[in-house]
């Protein structure tokens, strides 16, 4: 016992911190190894936390070899003595310019349970006009050739954070490329952003100084009405920052073709409807944002943001149709018209406050408010050609208002083994809908109070990385047809080691505002679509893995096997009522999905001069509704290549046909092959761009409402925008920066984007 006591007293704890020699900031995810000097055998190893700290326990007094390494820094190799007293070490690492010169820098495996960290080469920085261009060098991120927005390969959605705050793509355009220190890529979003996107990109910047940034990025179609334009301005003086940005998305297509087919049985008679329609389709989105902030980077940040948005949509259709009974025993030739125009004005305001309580504790507060004013004017009709008799007429005059107030508090505490985050979010929404349609007048009101509480702990335990999170949502709603109160829990566990991570999560899916509406619309003479205010949220269990097959200068490859179960999925069903069919969203019995996705990028030259990329996804879907079973197999390939040499850039991408069931029961089936060609050249602060989009074939969208094979109603539609075929586009961008902008970390961001247009 005496010997054991002496041995125990001889053990010591070692605490250390690793800093950037230039910025004096902690370096996260650096590898720290402690070896014996005699035989260089490994004693202990760990990875630094988000503040650059690390700790070793039970270290016997002796002389050890210390090795510290991190992407983009010169490694440290030294010998240190540890006594029988508590020991603290502080080390600074120098940036290794040679290490990050030309070779593509990849992420290290096993850094955390839910993300990897990437840095950029000097060549990539020189090839980028601004920060938005630089993010496209991430192996899993590509710019959409049509919209220019960032997305994950395989059509995965992307959420951008700038030093922790939810940001727009214009925020990233304001950044000079050399101010981006690293990007943390969350392929498993944190609990705060669960279900918000497939990828969360947290862009970490260096300490930035006073300065200004100004620029614009214009992209227009020559052969049809099409535009995606962005402009931005950012000025920093002392503790004050003001920024203004604007985004315009515009489309105007006059020669669209819309065909739809209905097949159903009523009163023991078969019915068939075929429509051939010409469509004029247009939409326009104006988004503006004015932001002022007072910044004391080491103590507190206060920010006020104003965000007025305007959305307009127009659809004008005229066409012919044919109605048949009993396989052609009775026929009618038809003429049909539809005019549908909507407009939404959405002013919003946001107040944010952050306070650093201590070196390891932070508190963030956020209050956001948004108001929607929506108007919609729709009228459609169908006439019989033989005698001009009116078959049906449908009108809708809608005036909706919606007000949302959101409050959130979030607390973060840094630990030696990771980070603990907990928060509370409350959202109150009130909607008033006043509309007149063929079925009468309605003055409908609804309100919802939603509370969300979450906590998450993530870090490292030896060679294992982990993340444990729990979210709880309480919904209290008054739909005008009744009240309900519901608790929804969303636990999640992530466990990983080296190249493999396994994730289990359980999360709710809420019905959208259109499905909860009480409105009713005609689709055809015997078919209407009706909302369902009594829809309930559904719960989905998922178990999936992320397997990093390769991430090196030549190959990036990942596998995503998955299985998911939903106890009451929301689907749309057709029911015969009073001599007509009503399509309505309902809660089905169950849903089971399995799938496997491969994401692959090949760099033949070990850098980004040439990249070949593809995504191969296959899924099996099984549904049960009213004891009826339905099975669907999906296959969705995407492929392309990128060639980049100095300031010249060329991209080709191809998407083939796919079947993709949406959660509301519609099947969106795209059968075309979409080909997009984009070429651009950067000259100083200018960039010139040209493209041919939808080369060879027009844009097409095929839909089929047929969740159950035995359904008495089969509906399919095909929409083709002929003006998009071989759409030639030209673009020009300019970026000006004087000094360095000054960004900061914001932990919360809230808004409501769902307009009440139905």
pLDDT band, residue 543 (cuts 50/70/90): very high
pLDDT digit string, tens, across residues 78-100: 888 887 777 788 898 887 644 44
Distance of CA 491 to the CA centre of its chain: 20
Helix (H, G, I), strand (E, B) or coil at 223: coil
Does the pLDDT of residue 286 top 90, yes or no?
yes
Task: Tell me where in the chain the CATH 2.60.40.10 domain(s) lie.
Answer: 2-93
CA pair distance 360, 415, nearest whole angstrom? 8
The whole-number average pLDDT for the span 265-279 is 88
Distance of alpha carbon 338 from alpha carbon 335, whole angstroms: 11
pLDDT at residue 340, as a whole number: 93
| CA angle, residues 497, 501, 503, in degrees to nearest 5 | 140
Where residue 59 falls among pLDDT bands split at 50, 70, 90? confident
Mean pLDDT of 473-485: 77
Task: Identify the CATH assignment for 115-213 out of 2.170.130.10, 3.40.50.970, 2.70.150.10, 3.30.360.10.
Answer: 2.170.130.10
391, 383 Cβ separation under 8 angstroms: yes
- DSSP string over 27-38: -TT-EEEEEETT
SS3 category, 387: coil
Task: Find the range with the poorest average confidence among 36-50, 394-408, 491-505, 683-697.
Answer: 36-50
Mean pLDDT of 554-582: 86
pLDDT at 170: 86
- DSSP tag of 552: S
What pLDDT is attached to residue 99?
42
Mean pLDDT over each residue of the chain, to the nearest integer: 80
Per-residue pLDDT band at 55 (split at 50, 70, 90):
confident
Residue 479 gets the label, from left (phi > 0), alpha (psi -120 to 50) or beta, of: alpha
d(CA 75, CA 250): 51
Candidate from 32-36, 426-430, 461-465 with smallest mean pLDDT: 461-465
CATH number of 214-739: 2.40.170.20
In this structure, what is the dihedral angle of CA atoms 491, 497, 499, 502, given to the nearest 10 degrees? -20
Q: Pick 259 or 108 by higher pLDDT.
A: 259
At residue 287, the pLDDT reads 93
Contact indicator for 419, 413 with CB cutoff of 8 Å: yes
Torsion of Cα atoms, 288 then 289 then 290 then 293, to 10°:
-170
In the prediction, which pLDDT does 311 show?
Answer: 94
Q: Is the pLDDT of residue 483 over 80?
A: no
**pLDDT for 100-120, tens place per residue?**
444 444 444 334 566 778 888
Query: At a CB cut-off of 8 Å and minimum separation 6, what does 392 contact?
Result: 381, 382, 522, 524, 525
pLDDT, tens digit (0-9, with 9 covering 90-100), for 167-213: 888 888 888 888 888 888 888 887 777 667 888 888 887 655 677 88
Strand intervals (E) in 51-179: 53-59, 62-69, 76-82, 87-93, 115-118, 141-143, 150-152, 158-162, 165-166
Phi-psi region of 330 (alpha: psi -120 to 50; beta: other; left: phi over 0): beta
pLDDT at 235 over 70: yes
Contacts 24+ apart (CB under 8 A), 82-89: 82/12, 82/14, 83/12, 84/9, 84/10, 84/12, 85/12, 86/12, 86/13, 86/15, 87/12, 87/13, 87/14, 87/15, 87/59, 88/14, 88/15, 88/16, 89/14, 89/15, 89/16, 89/17
Is the pLDDT at 7 greater than 60? The verdict is no
Q: Which superfamily does CATH assign the domain made up of 2-93 to? A: Immunoglobulins (2.60.40.10)
Query: Which pLDDT band, with edges at 50, 70 and 90, does 424 fall under?
Result: very high
In percent, how much of the chain has pLDDT > 90?
Answer: 21
Q: What is the pLDDT of residue 434?
A: 85
Tens of pLDDT, residue by residue over 362-418, are: 898 999 999 999 999 999 999 999 999 998 888 889 898 999 999 999 898 877 667
Work out whether the CA dihedral 155, 156, 160, 165 comes out positive or negative: positive
* CA atoms of 73 and 20, how far apart (whole Å): 9
Residue ranges, comma separated, of all CATH 2.40.170.20 domains in the chain are: 214-739
With a threshold of 0.75, does the pTM exceed it? no
In sequence order, the β-bridge partners of residue 261 are: 274, 716
Residue 738 has a pLDDT of: 67
User: 726, 692 in Cβ contact below 8 A?
Assistant: yes
Nearest-angstrom CA–CA distance, 590 and 538:
10
d(Cα 750, Cα 351) in Å, to the nearest integer? 10
Q: How many CB atoms lie within 10 A of CB 55?
A: 17
What's the confidence (pLDDT) of residue 480? 64
Residues 391 and 322: their CA atoms lie apart, in Å, by: 12
- Sorting pLDDT into bands at 50, 70 and 90, what band is 703? low
**SS3 for 703-733, per residue?**
EEECCCCCCCEEEEEEEEEHHHCCEEEEEEE
Rounded to 5 degrees, φ, ψ at 97 are -65, -35
For residue 666, what pLDDT band results from cuts at 50, 70 and 90?
A: very low
Alpha-carbon distance 618 to 598, whole Å?
Answer: 9
Distances (CA, A) of 466 to 419, 503, 755: 11, 10, 38
| Average confidence (pLDDT) over 63-78 | 81
Banded pLDDT at 758 (limits 50, 70, 90): low
Res 133 pLDDT > 60: yes
Q: What is the pLDDT of residues 151-171, one digit of tens each?
A: 887 678 898 887 777 788 888
Q: Which residue intervals of the chain bear CATH 2.170.130.10?
A: 115-213
pLDDT at 499: 82
Q: Is 73 helix (H, G, I), strand (E, B) or coil?
A: strand
Identify the weakest region by mean pLDDT among 231-245, 257-271, 476-490: 476-490
Q: At residue 562, does pLDDT exceed 80?
A: yes
Total residue count of the chain as it appears in this document: 758
pLDDT, position 642:
87
Instruction: Identify the residue with better confidence: 530 or 662.
Output: 530
Q: Which pairing describes strands 158-162 and 199-205: parallel, antiparallel, or unpaired?
A: parallel
Distance CA 182, CA 164 (A): 13
Q: Looking at beta carbons, which pairs linking 43-49 to residues 24 or more positions away fall under 8 Å? A: 46/460, 47/110, 47/111, 47/460, 48/17, 48/18, 49/414, 49/415, 49/416, 49/417, 49/418, 49/419, 49/459
Q: What tens digit of pLDDT does each residue of 318-377 get?
A: 999 999 998 888 999 999 999 999 999 999 999 989 888 887 888 989 999 999 999 999
């Amino acid at each position: 016992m005496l010997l054991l006591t002496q041995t125990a007293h001889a053990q010591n704890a070692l605490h250390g911190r690793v800093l950037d020699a230039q910025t004096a900031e902690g370096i996260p995810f650096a590898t720290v190894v402690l070896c014996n000097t005699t035989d260089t055998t490994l004693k202990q190893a760990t990875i630094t936390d988000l503040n650059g700290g690390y700790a070793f326990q039970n270290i016997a007094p002796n002389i050890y070899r210390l090795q510290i390494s991190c992407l983009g820094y010169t490694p440290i190799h030294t010998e240190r003595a540890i006594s029988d007293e508590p020991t603290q070490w502080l080390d600074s690492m120098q940036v290794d310019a040679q290490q990050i010169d030309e070779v593509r820098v990849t992420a290290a495996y096993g850094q955390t349970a839910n993300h990897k960290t990437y840095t950029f080469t000097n060549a990539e920085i020189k090839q980028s006009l601004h920060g938005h261009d630089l993010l496209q060098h991430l192996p899993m991120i590509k710019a959409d050739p049509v919209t220019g927005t960032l997305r994950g390969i395989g059509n995965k959605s992307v959420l951008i954070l700038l030093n922790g705050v939810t940001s727009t793509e214009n925020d990233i355009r304001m950044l000079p490329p050399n101010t981006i220190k690293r990007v943390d890529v969350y392929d498993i979003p944190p609990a705060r952003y669960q279900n918000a996107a497939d990828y969360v990109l947290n862009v970490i910047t260096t300490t930035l100084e006073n300065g200004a940034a100004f620029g614009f990025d214009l992209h227009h179609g020559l052969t049809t009405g099409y535009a995606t334009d962005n402009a931005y301005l950012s000025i920093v003086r002392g503790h004050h920052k003001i920024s203004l940005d604007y985004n315009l998305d515009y489309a105007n297509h006059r020669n669209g073709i819309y065909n739809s087919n209905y097949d159903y049985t009523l009163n023991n008679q078969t019915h068939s409807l075929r429509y051939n329609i010409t469509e004029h389709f247009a939409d326009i989105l104006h988004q503006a944002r004015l932001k002022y902030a007072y910044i004391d980077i080491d103590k507190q940040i206060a920010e006020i943001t104003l965000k007025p948005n305007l959305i307009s949509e127009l659809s004008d259709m005229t066409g012919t149709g044919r109605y048949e009974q009993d396989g052609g025993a009775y026929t009618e030739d038809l003429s049909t018209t539809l005019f549908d125009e909507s407009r939404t004005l959405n002013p919003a305001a946001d107040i944010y406050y952050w306070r650093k309580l201590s070196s390891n504790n932070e508190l963030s507060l956020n209050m956001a408010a948004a108001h929607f004013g929506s108007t919609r004017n729709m009228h459609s009709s169908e006439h019989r050609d033989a005698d001009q008799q009116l078959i049906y007429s449908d009108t809708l005059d809608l005036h909706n208002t919606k007000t949302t107030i959101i409050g959130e508090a979030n607390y973060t505490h840094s630990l030696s083994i990771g980070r603990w985050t907990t928060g509370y979010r409350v959202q109150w929404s009130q909607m008033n809908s006043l509309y007149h349609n063929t079925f009468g007048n309605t003055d409908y009101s609804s309100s919802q109070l939603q509370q969300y509480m979450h906590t998450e702990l993530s870090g490292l335990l030896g060679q294992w990385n982990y993340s444990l999170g729990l979210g709880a949502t309480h919904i209290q709603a008054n739909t005008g047809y009744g009240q309900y109160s519901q608790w929804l829990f969303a636990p999640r566990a992530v466990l990983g080691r080296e190249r493999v991570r396994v994730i289990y999560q359980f999360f709710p899916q809420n019905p959208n505002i259109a499905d909860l509406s009480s409105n009713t619309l005609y689709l055809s003479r015997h078919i209407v679509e009706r909302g369902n205010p009594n829809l309930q949220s559904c719960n989905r269990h998922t178990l999936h893995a992320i397997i990093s097959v390769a991430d090196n200068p030549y190959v990036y490859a990942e596998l995503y096997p998955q299985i998911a179960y939903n106890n009451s999925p929301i689907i749309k069903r057709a029911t015969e009522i009073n001599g007509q069919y009503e399509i309505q969203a309902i809660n089905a019995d169950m849903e089971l999905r399995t799938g496997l996705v491969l994401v692959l990028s090949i760099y033949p030259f070990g850098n980004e001069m040439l990249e070949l990329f593809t995504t191969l996804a296959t899924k099996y879907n099984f549904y049960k509704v009213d004891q009826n079973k339905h099975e669907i197999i999906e296959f969705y390939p995407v492929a392309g290549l990128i060639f980049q040499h100095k300031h010249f850039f060329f991209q080709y991408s191809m998407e083939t046909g796919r079947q993709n069931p949406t959660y509301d029961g519609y099947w969106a089936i795209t059968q075309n092959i979409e080909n997009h060609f984009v070429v651009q050249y950067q000259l100083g602060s200018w960039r010139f761009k040209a493209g041919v989009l939808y080369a060879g074939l027009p844009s097409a969208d095929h839909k089929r409402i047929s969740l159950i094979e035995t359904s008495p109603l089969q509906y399919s539609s095909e929409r083709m925008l002929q003006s998009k075929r071989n759409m030639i586009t030209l673009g020009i961008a300019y970026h000006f920066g004087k000094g360095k902008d000054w960004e900061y970390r914001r932990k919360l961001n809230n808004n409501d984007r769902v307009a009440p247009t139905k």
